Amino acid sequence: MSLANGRPYLAIPGPSVIPERVLRAMHQGSPNIYEGPLIDMVASLWPDLRAVAGTTGHVAMYIGNGHAGWEAANANLFNRGDKALVLAVGQFGLSWANSARAMGIEVEVLDFGKSAPVDMNRVEATLRADTGHKIKAVLTTHVDTASTIRTDIPALRAAMDAAGHPALLAVDCIASLGCDEFRMDDWGVDVMVAACQKGLMTPPGMAFVWFSEAARLRCGKSDLATPYWAWGPRAEPEEFWQIWDGTAPTSHLYGLREALDMIGEEGLPNVWKRHHTLASAVWAAFDCWSAGNPAIGMNVAEPAHRGWSVTAARFGAPHATRLREWCERQAGVTLGIGLGMAPSTDPAYHGFLRVAHMGHVNAHMTLGALAVMEAGMSALAIPHGQGALAAAAQVVAKGAL
């Protein structure tokens, strides 16, 4: 017998759970895209998009996913043949590097593996060695969605400054915006990329690029920025249609407006605290489970290097896949695959999974997911330590004070 009948819970790292308020806001007919309420509503998005990123800079919106955001950033940051330094701490750093390379950009990758943070000394040394300042920009992920490693952006900015290098700093916040604390201007970030389907709680379909005035001035004549990807007309349009180089994604805009309202009502610092508390509850559970089985553990050893939106974990093959399948089929909870940890053809692939706690997620959803995971481990006879649920509940109790 399955106990999955009822409302399912999608605990994967994007697309995240869509709030009912957002769904209701999207459920309306197409508006006039030439004048009227839509134009006024879109004008209200810009201040809130700047606020959630922590910037007073420019914002460009695109119809697309996170990969579209990468391409938009690449197209405006670089000319063909320019050089990028990519700091990779997992699958998505490497993927951004591949995206840039495919566009004709020269790419140097500092690969720190799948479980270790960026070594700032290596970054500083690499930039110091670039005496001709060929590197135009440093690209990195704030939180790599696959490895769940969080990069210390203020420390990275400090390393770049210590090297005395003029490279721009571009950060992928696709998995972290609206989940982890991020302050674009305060941390010296020049370009930031995100999408709507994670912390912004809107169905996939919109990407965003924030860019500083310094980035605008230095990247105004890219030979890769075709009319569709050029960020200038989108950020400073003379006419409404230029924001998307065509028809506006009207339903998504209604949903995004509602999602930003929800973030504003909760307060961004409270949003960050909620995500940190729920992440800490997941970590507490894993600490207990791993005490009874060394094959179980989080991918990132140090809490300071873990993202607050998603937790990558190992269970030992084939138990991660067995557990994921049991949780979905028997209890209605869908966990994320262990993306990038091993090829899908490798038996080791079945030893990894991810637990998301991003966006429209609260205590009972996270505690419920952990309880289902423990039930699955018991049903599948996967050895594990005891006390996980009590430990997670204690974190939630303290966080709610």
**What digits encode the pLDDT tens for the residues 290-340?**
999 999 999 999 999 999 999 999 999 999 999 999 999 999 999 999 999
What was the pLDDT predicted at 31? 93
Give pLDDT tens digits for 189-207: 999 999 999 999 999 999 9
Percentage of the chain exceeding pLDDT 90? 97
Give pLDDT tens digits for 96-142: 999 999 999 999 999 999 999 999 999 999 999 999 999 999 999 99
- Enter the tokens of residue 215: 């980035």
Locate the DSSP E strands across 31-134: 58-63, 83-88, 106-111
- Residue 400 reports pLDDT greater than 80: no
| Residue with token string 């806001």 | 25
What was the pLDDT predicted at 401? 66
- Enter the tokens of residue 159: 């390393």
DSSP helix, strand, coil percent of the chain (3-state; round to 5)? 45, 15, 40
Q: Give the C-alpha separation, 298 to 340, whole Å.
A: 15
What was the pLDDT predicted at 288? 98
pTM of the model: 0.95
13 confidence band (pLDDT: 50, 70, 90): very high
| Residue with token string 């949903």 | 255
- Residue 220 reports pLDDT greater than 80: no
Q: Give the C-alpha separation, 96 to 76, whole Å.
A: 14
> Residues 379, 20: contact at Cβ < 8 Å?
no
What was the pLDDT predicted at 399? 83
